Structure 1
Amino acid sequence: MTARIAASFGAVAADYDRHAGLQRVVARRLAERITGLYRAAAPRPATLRILEIGAGTGLLTEALAPRLAGLGVSVHWTVTDLAPAMLERIGTR
């Protein structure tokens, strides 16, 4: 089952973002929420370690990275996904 899911997402990886309007909206909202939580944290860590499970093509990473960079936060990212082809798209952002 897992292999079938990975193959299905891998097959559409190149076109995924074109059809991911809702996912993009959710990623932006989640990025805003995460940024707000960071701002409210006391003390604020200078470096964040972020593990994104099911990262897909990196919509959340794309939305969150500039927000955290704007706050001067250093981030160590670990992104995972069942479909290697989806992860390859992150590298093109």
Structure 2
Amino acid sequence: MPLVEPVRTCVGCRGRENKSDLIRLVRSGEAIVVDVRQSRPGRGVYLHPRPQCWEQAFRRRALARGLQAGNVDQDRLRTELAELIIDPS
């Protein structure tokens, strides 16, 4: 019997996708960080690796709501996400 991969919802576009195809963000103290290995403890949200989804999430305040965080440094997150897409190592 094959193992079924977990499915998660992108907080940007609300589309459902396999967990391994999404980027996980977690709250670490007061900051929101990219969880590259998808193994950090704590509350997390998922995004597609597409700028359109990031912008929808920022516009809808979905990251702050999903992570129960107050202020989201959108510029820093945009840069970090873009670097991850360019160099996924």
TM-score, with normalisation over the residues of structure 1?
A: 0.26
Q: Which has the higher contact order (CA 8 A, sep 6+)?
A: 1
Quick check: which one's helix share is greater? 1
TM-score, with normalisation over the residues of structure 2?
A: 0.27
Quick check: which one's strand share is greater? 2
Bigger Rg over Cα: 1
